Amino acid sequence: MSSVPGRPQPPPHPDHAPGSRPAADRAGARIDALRPALPSPLQTVADARFARRGVRLLLKRDDLIHPDLPGNKWRKLELNLRAAAATGPRPLLTFGGAYSNHLRATAAAGRLLGLATIGVVRGDELADRPLNPVLARCVADGMRLHFLTRSAYRRKAEPEVREALRARFGDCYVIPEGGSNALAATGCRTLGRELRAALDPADGPHVVGVACGTGGTLAGLAAGLADHRQPADPATGLTIDPPAGQTAEQTIEQTAEQTAERATERAAGSGARPRAIGFPVLRGDFLAAEILALQTEAFGARVGDWELDGRFHCGGYARTTPELDAFAADFADRHGLALDRVYVAKLLYGLTSLVEAGAIAGGSTVTAVITGPAPAP
Ligand SMILES: Cc1ncc(COP(=O)(O)O)c(C=O)c1O
């Protein structure tokens, strides 16, 4: 194991001492000041492969939410950052591979919020090599990197490994690999609620696709798509639970629209809820159980109509095939949108293949969640 220190941090102001109320309030206020652009835009795309089958294609542009915390990074981190700020604030410690978008986003969040960050990296063979652009960016944002052998990394949830990390780095707020925990799933529920509010039932049946790594995004998305709750309605007496970044008034307004929408939905007889399809980018069939565990922890049970289609991983994490490369290049030509090859390209490749194979019925609307931007060339 070895560590690379982040950018030297100035000594903390007494107000910033871990555990102090002003420090917690300040970190909370800084989170409020991040102001992500929500709800993210929903764009219609004219794609001949979809039109030929009578299917509409929409892109939910979550990649445009925030320059440093784009897409599912903001959705998964927000509630964790609030929890870390409220209980300390404590340094953030998290885990990821050498090309992890999540590590990079956590480092950026630390810089923006004035929180120390520690990134535990899979594989100590990287410790003595020049840092790749992702890890270099993490260090530039002040993250301290700690490299674990692959076998120690596999045991990262076990008490001895956690204790060794605590002995080395002190009391940290620990965020799991990929940022996926119950708070992350709860944050991603807002994504599903936004879509639920924006998708026109008359354009259904609706299919919403998302790329999956650890599954936290799909766990929350599916829950939000299924959400029928109504805040503070005197008739129902249900409580207000405004999505992040929204006031209760906005939520009531939005919910009133949703209620009207559901009435239209029922009247049109197309009452089917949006169906979510997750496209795992890793090989293996462990993910459904993990998503179920996340949903159970976050929401008490399996929620929403979701499934996984494991046929489009293209060889596994960060692997590609000539077909995937050709698909992504062609998509960029057709629509002027560069796709992240690790996640989003596999999602759109999967959705396009399903439509071309006739597996999604004519008359449907397919919404692809663009969970992150393509990396800069
Ligand atoms: C751009 C992008 N899309 C999708 C995912 C998959 O998200 P999850 O790990 O929640 O399944 C990730 C990883 O967080 C990602 O960086």
Q: What is the pLDDT of residues 262-273, one digit of tens each?
A: 444 444 444 458
pLDDT tens readout for residues 12-26 = 444 445 557 787 888
- At residue 253 the predicted structure's pLDDT band, cuts being 50, 70 and 90, is low
- At residue 234 the predicted structure's pLDDT band, cuts being 50, 70 and 90, is very low
Q: What share of the chain is helix, strand, coil (3-state, %, to 5)?
A: 45, 15, 40
> Of the given ranges (15-24, 59-68, 168-177, 247-256), which has the lowest mean pLDDT?
247-256
For residue 114, how far is its CA from the centre of ligand 1 (angstroms)? Answer: 25
pLDDT tens readout for residues 131-184 = 999 999 999 999 999 999 999 999 999 999 999 999 999 999 999 999 999 999
The domain over range 91-171 is classified in CATH as 3.40.50.1100: yes
Judge if 42-69+182-369 and 91-171 fold alike in CATH terms. Answer: yes
40, 34 contact by CB (below 8 A): no
Sketch the domain layout of the chain as residue ranges: 42-69+182-369, 91-171
Helices in 200-280 by DSSP H: which ranges? 216-225, 248-268
Per the model's pLDDT, the better-predicted residue between 199 and 228 turns out to be: 199
Q: 92 phi and psi, to 5 degrees?
A: -95, 130
- At residue 125 the predicted structure's pLDDT band, cuts being 50, 70 and 90, is confident
Residues 6+ apart with CB under 8 A from 71: 62, 63, 65, 370, 371, 372, 373
Global pTM value: 0.85
- The angle that helices 133-140 and 101-113 make with each other, rounded to 10 degrees, is 10
For residue 252, how far is its CA from the centre of ligand 1 (angstroms)? Answer: 30
What is the Cα–Cα distance from 121 to 154, expressed in whole angstroms? 11
What is the Cα–Cα distance from 307 to 218, expressed in whole angstroms? 9
Cβ neighbours around 236 below 10 Å, total: 11
Q: What percent of the chain has pLDDT over 90?
A: 76
- pLDDT, position 8: 46
Element (H, E) at 208: strand 206-212
| pLDDT above 80: residue 251 | no
For residue 138, how far is its CA from the centre of ligand 1 (angstroms)? Answer: 18
Cβ neighbours around 241 below 10 Å, total: 15
| pLDDT above 90: residue 227 | no
Burial class (CB in 10 A: 0-12, 13-18, 19+), 71: buried
pLDDT tens readout for residues 87-115 = 888 999 999 999 999 999 999 999 999 99
Which of 75, 101, 189 gets mutated to test ligand 1 (max ligand atoms within 8 A of its CB)?
101
Burial class (CB in 10 A: 0-12, 13-18, 19+), 63: buried
Pairing of the two strands 275-280 and 306-308? parallel
Smallest CA separation from ligand 1 atom 3, residue: 371
For ligand 1, residues with CB inside 6 Å are 71-72, 101-102, 178, 180, 211-217, 340, 343, 371-372
For residue 260, how far is its CA from the centre of ligand 1 (angstroms)? Answer: 33
Which of 61, 214, 312 gets mutated to test ligand 1 (max ligand atoms within 8 A of its CB)?
214
**Look-up: residue for tokens 């944050």?**
187
104, 74 contact by CB (below 8 A): no
What is the Cα–Cα distance from 18 to 88, expressed in whole angstroms? 5
Cβ neighbours around 49 below 10 Å, total: 15
Cis check for the bond before 130: say yes or no (omega within 30 of 0): no
CATH number for region 42-69+182-369: 3.40.50.1100
| pLDDT above 70: residue 5 | no
